[in-house]
Chain A
Amino acid sequence: MIEVEKLSKRYGEVSAIRDVSFAARPGEVTGFLGPNGAGKTTTMRILTGFMPPGSGRAIVAGHDVFTDSMEVRRRVGYLPENVPLYRDMTAIGYLKFIADIRGLRDGKRRAQEVLERVDLLQRANSRIRTLSKGMRQRVGVAQALIHDPEVLILDEPTIGLDPFQVLELRDLVRVLGRDHTVLFSTHILSEAEQICDQVVIIDRGQIMAQGSPQALRNELESGRPVVLRVEAPLDEALALVSALPEVEQAGISADGITATPASPEQDPRPAIARAVLERGWALKELRSVAVTLEDIFLEVAGSRATAGEAPGEAEAPADLLEEDEVSHA
């Protein structure tokens, strides 16, 4: 259980996070979504007791991270970003070391158990420096799991992994989410959607939105343009779509025909499909324009800006453009 209330943290003059409030429930995987520099790592570091909050309150596993740091640390498993490990130790040796520090009885057995859980038992005696990136990531997860914590906090666990390893890790997180409170940060929306029961979106230190991934997606996708490809003359199809009352306007794009809905509440796709089929054309594709992270952030940030609530430093686009290559990776 994680409860965060109005958490703020400043580094000198720069505000890292501001009035962050959210909750993560046991038995759920909570995705912490945001671009680099949004405040994900800062928040997680506060939650794990690595650094104290500037103000606000955070209760993790029933203890205040500020006044009761040790108790929190005992109950939290943490995988920092970039998975720092002692490269010169063996996997089992490292886990045994962590178990000893945590004062677990029977550390060796615990270490073997978690290695088995992350499916690395066969490499238990290999030095960590010889392990692949994915294996190291799993050693990191094993480290976070070794004391069977109530709360598991994973900072960008899938970054830098190949697609297969990413799938493996996502499965692992999903499984862990069944009996732990898992807080899991990522900047990839689809990842959050796949494995999270709840998503918290953060940007420039502030919570933008939170809710189940499906709800978020629906909310964000509504009112978005749709793309249509049909087996028919382009101008006829364009005319047909433009004439529909659900469509405000339509144009030709590289993908096909792009139509903007007349109102955000109403999805124009059923109407378009009906119209196409009535003409007897073959419908090749009809989809909403893909919602990318950038879109969401630009949208949320834009709406905030118009509402006059955005933080003073509003040079956001530059930040977000940097995000491109990462999100495509």
Chain B
Amino acid sequence: MHSILAVFRRELALYFRSPVAYAIAFALLLFLGVLFNGFIAQANAALSFGSGIPADAGFAPNLLTFLMFLIAPLLTMRLLAEESREGTLEVLMTLPLHESSFIIGKFLAAWAYYTVLLLLSLVFYVLQGFIGVPDAGVALGAYGGAWLYGGAVLAITMIWSAVTEDQIVAAFLGSATILVLYLAEIAAIWIAGQGSSSLVADFVRELGLQAHFSVTLAQGIVRAEDVVYFICVIIGALFITTRLVETRRWRA
């Protein structure tokens, strides 16, 4: 436990010292901010035409989950690739801690940084509270869901960081994986449209990330299976990462 904590503290401090982390937060908030202003303007315009747009409590979480295919690889590509390239992994692996400890520690740090991003984006919920009535239930579901979603995505991209020593390759592969999982729902619709068995379509859909977020959690519906899905993805991805790091013992 103390070793998880030690790794967590080191990695988290590293996030808050690294310019990249601030650049990501800056770019994300600027992007969300611009879109938010567009949204408000659109709502105002719609109101003048008679039918207004109600507040969207899930505004930030929805966009954030979409952008995760860009953000998550940037956050996680370093975590293990750098250690193995610099050789510091060898030190870690001869310290009295299990691989899973430092992998969990690193993951938790990335997740914590992401949590800060998510909390910052609460500003869009709060601001809507002044000019409308955002649904608190939806906000709870969407922010909580986006939090789990982010954890799952970070855990998945971390696998690639363990696979390759090249951070760019890790980021690229991570990004591609997340994009594929994000688009699984659209792929499922396409498969269903091809007239093949809807079973395959459903399977592909449930494998993907969006099917467990956009229609349920993002709308304030907390389904046990969605929560379990994200938790299982996190556990599974961390397990695979641990295995991959362990293989270095007998491959290296």
Contact = CB atoms under 8 A, between A and B. Distances in A.
B6 A86 contact: no
Interface centre among B14, B17, B93, B96 (most CB of A within 10 A): B96
A157 interface: no
A237 interface: no
A74 interface: yes
Interface string B1-38: 01101110110001001000000000000000000000
A205 interface: no
A49 B95 CA distance: 9
Interface in A65-95: 70-71, 73-74, 76, 78, 80, 82, 84-89
A318 interface: no
Contacts, number: 70
A310 B213 CA distance: 65
Contacts of A76: 94
B94 A50 contact: yes
Contact of A84 (B6, B88, B96): B88
Majority secondary structure of chain A interface residues (helix, strand, loop or mixed): loop
Nearest to B252: A51
Contacts of B7: 101
A84 B90 contact: yes
Interface in B49-88: 86-88
Interface in A87-111: 87-89, 97-98, 100-103
B90 A80 contact: yes
A143 interface: yes
A45 B251 CA distance: 13
Nearest to A153: B94
B250 interface: yes
A48 B87 contact: no
Given A70-B96, A85-B88, A103-B2, A97 B10 contact: yes
Contacts of B215: none
A84 B91 contact: yes
Interface in B196-238: none
B5 A78 contact: no
B6 A101 contact: yes
Contact of B86 (A52, A87, A101, A102): A87
Contacts of A101: 2-3, 6-7, 92, 95-97, 102
A102 B71 CA distance: 32
Nearest to A82: B87
B2 A100 contact: yes
Contacts of A50: 90, 93-94, 249, 252
Size class of the B contact interface (CB-based, 8 Å): 20 to 34
Contacts of A70: 96
Contact of A51 (B9, B14, B96, B249): B249
A73 B6 contact: no
Contacts of B14: 88
Contacts of A71: 96
A49 B2 contact: no
B5 A80 contact: no
Contact of B91 (A51, A52, A143): A143
A45 to B, nearest CB: 8
B50 to A, nearest CB: 57
Contacts of B17: 88
A86 B102 CA distance: 15
Nearest to A104: B2
Interface centre among B5, B89, B93 (most CB of A within 10 A): B93
Contacts of A97: 6, 9-10
A225 to B, nearest CB: 43
A74 B250 contact: no
A73 B92 CA distance: 10
A86 B88 contact: yes
Contacts of A86: 10, 86, 88
Interface string A178-199: 0000000000000000000000
A87 B17 CA distance: 13
Nearest to A42: B252
Nearest to A97: B10
Interface centre among B9, B94, B102 (most CB of A within 10 A): B94
A48 B94 contact: yes
Contact of A80 (B2, B6, B87, B97): B87
A113 to B, nearest CB: 18
Nearest to A103: B2
A88 B88 CA distance: 12
Contacts of A80: 87, 90-91, 94
Nearest to B94: A48
A71 B92 CA distance: 15
Nearest to B82: A86
5 contacts: A45-B94, A50-B90, A80-B87, A80-B91, A101-B96
Given A73-B95, A100-B9, A101-B7, 4 more contacts: A50-B249, A51-B252, A76-B94, A101-B96
Interface of B: 2-3, 5-7, 9-10, 14, 17, 86-97, 102, 249-250, 252
